[in-house]
Amino acid sequence: MLVCVCNGIREKEFRDAIREGAESPCSAYARFGRRPKCGQCISFAKTIISDERTACPA
């Protein structure tokens, strides 16, 4: 599943970026050399960040 259609950022790679320390959608996108364009994905991206922060470490 894509988190950000404009940048073609997949959910898995986005989650990996959050686990590696990105603290916001913008900082996660920056790890791929991207930045938000239309902004439609920001709410979903924040939901994933929240989900990652409440998940138990594997």
Residue 55 binds ligand FES, judged by CB under 6 A: no
Residue 40 binds ligand FES, judged by CB under 6 A: yes
- Stretch touching ligand FES by CB under 6 A, among 11-19, 36-44, 46-54: 36-44
CB atoms under 10 Å from CB of 9, counted, come to 21
- Of 33 and 57, the one with the shorter C-beta distance to ligand FES is 33
| Angle formed at CA 56 by CA 52 and CA 58, multiple of 5 degrees | 100
The answer to whether 28 and 13 are in contact (CB under 8 A) is no
- Interface residues with ligand FES (CB under 6 A) are 4-7, 36-41
